[in-house]
């Protein structure tokens, strides 16, 4: 059935090309190919020992009404390696309106997640979202200039029904630059409401986190290609109504990133209260955590990048490791 949907979607896209060409408006094609092999040898509690292997190809057409207004239509086709009846094969629509100028980026609809939320920290949104839910389904608004970028977004995770809860997240992500220094803010509110089945005794869950970091970009002051350091505070809160009151978890978080030619090193340290984060990386469900990434980019040319990363997760109970290779190729062209 899904293959017939794929064929139908391609046919609709081709029809759109023909129809729009008659209107003599600007038309273009963009394609994002993402391949991933991510082996997670996790041993700590709260974490899942799992391997992600698959590809996502995301072709989309755009219709430019003018220099600021565009309509996008396309799809994500996501298939795991070794597919079988219990494996994953997913088709997700891409369909959104985008207004963009020098200072504003506004989008409404089903829009690719990586294009707008790639820099959100893992403590806020786990990186598995890029594998398993490649779209934001909702709205995104960002203001940007030479010194500021501040975004707000809403992502609807589940529509309320008799069997399914209403679930959504509202997030903030921003960066303010002052010479070599910067301030970064990230926040997320997760709302897990009830079903419309009044007989179920389910309770509303509210969960959130706010992170404020201060850092410095020292890349131009060293022989390294990249050197950034930041420190900050993470404040999380969690409540299940009628079960327990609002709980607050506070912690210290720091990041360092070093890049030189084809190699890079990243380290994230968290110290403080254990966080309850349904959408964040599960390693933060503890009071001490350190992640070390050692990486190599064997090839990078234009919009093509292949990256290998060996990650080591230091937790009080166990040392876990992870090996990942990702390849992303993005290209586009105006058709007429």
Domain extents in the chain: 2-334
Which residues make Cβ contacts (< 8 Å) with residue 301, sequence separation at least 6?
none
Q: Which residues of 1-22 are buried (b: 16+ CB within 10 A; e: fewer)?
A: eeeeeeeebeeebeebeeebee
Which pLDDT value is given to residue 336? 83
Which residues make Cβ contacts (< 8 Å) with residue 293, sequence separation at least 6?
264, 265, 266, 267, 309, 310, 311
Which has the higher per-residue pLDDT, 293 or 244?
293
In the predicted model, is pLDDT for residue 335 greater than 90?
A: no
In the predicted model, is pLDDT for residue 10 greater than 70?
A: no
Over residues 284-313, the mean pLDDT reads: 96
Which pLDDT value is given to residue 201? 77
Asked whether the beta carbons of 208 and 225 are under 8 A apart, the reply is no
Asked whether the beta carbons of 15 and 27 are under 8 A apart, the reply is no
Over residues 18-38, the mean pLDDT reads: 78
Q: What is the CATH number of domain 2-334?
A: 2.40.160.10
Which pLDDT value is given to residue 37? 97
Which pLDDT value is given to residue 136? 96
Confidence grade of residue 231 (pLDDT, cut at 50, 70, 90): very high
Over residues 322-329, the mean pLDDT reads: 97
133-158 pLDDT, tens digit per residue, is 999 999 999 999 999 999 999 999 99
Asked whether the beta carbons of 38 and 51 are under 8 A apart, the reply is yes
In the predicted model, is pLDDT for residue 13 greater than 60?
A: no
Other beta carbons within 10 angstroms of residue 172's beta carbon come to 17
Confidence grade of residue 295 (pLDDT, cut at 50, 70, 90): very high
Q: What percent of the chain is predicted at pLDDT more than 70?
A: 92
Which has the higher per-residue pLDDT, 9 or 179?
179
Residue with tokens 């109504």: 241
Distance CA 314, CA 291 (A): 6
Q: Which of 152, 161, 128, 154 is nearest to 326 (CA)?
A: 128
Phi, psi for 311 (deg, rounded to 5): -115, 140
pLDDT mean across residues, the chain: 91
42-95 pLDDT, tens digit per residue, is 998 889 899 999 999 999 999 998 989 999 999 999 999 988 877 777 899 999
């Amino acid at each position: 059935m899904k293959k017939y949907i794929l064929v139908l979607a391609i046919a609709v896209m081709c029809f759109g090309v023909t129809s729009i060409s008659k209107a003599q408006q600007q038309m273009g094609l963009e394609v994002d190919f993402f391949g991933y092999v991510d082996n997670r040898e996790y041993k700590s509690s709260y974490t899942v020992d799992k391997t992600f292997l698959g590809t996502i190809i995301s072709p989309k057409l755009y219709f430019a009404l003018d220099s600021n207004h565009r309509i996008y239509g396309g799809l994500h086709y996501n298939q795991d390696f070794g597919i079988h009846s219990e494996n994953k094969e997913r088709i997700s629509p891409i369909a959104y309106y985008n207004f963009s100028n020098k200072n504003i980026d506004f989008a409404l609809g089903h829009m690719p997640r990586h294009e707008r939320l790639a820099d959100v920290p893992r403590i806020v949104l786990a990186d598995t979202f890029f594998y398993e839910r490649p779209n934001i389904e909702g709205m995104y608004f960002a203001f940007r200039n030479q010194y500021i970028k501040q975004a707000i977004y809403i992502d609807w995770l589940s529509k309320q029904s008799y069997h399914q809860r209403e679930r959504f997240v509202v997030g903030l992500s921003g960066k303010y630059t002052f010479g070599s220094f910067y301030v970064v803010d990230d926040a997320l509110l997760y709302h897990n409401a009830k079903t419309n089945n009044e007989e179920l005794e389910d309770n509303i869950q509210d969960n959130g986190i706010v992170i404020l970091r201060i850092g410095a970009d020292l890349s131009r002051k060293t022989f390294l290609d990249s050197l950034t350091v930041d420190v900050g505070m993470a404040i999380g809160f969690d409540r299940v109504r009628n079960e327990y009151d609002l709980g607050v978890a506070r912690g210290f978080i720091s990041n360092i990133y070093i890049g030189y030619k084809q190699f890079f090193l990243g380290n994230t340290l968290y110290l403080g209260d254990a966080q309850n984060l349904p959408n964040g990386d599960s390693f933060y469900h503890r009071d001490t955590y350190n992640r070390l990434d050692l990486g190599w980019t064997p090839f990078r040319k234009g919009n093509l990048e292949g990256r290998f990363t060996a990650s080591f997760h230091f937790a009080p109970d166990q040392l876990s490791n992870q090996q990942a290779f990702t390849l992303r190729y993005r290209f586009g062209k105006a058709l007429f």
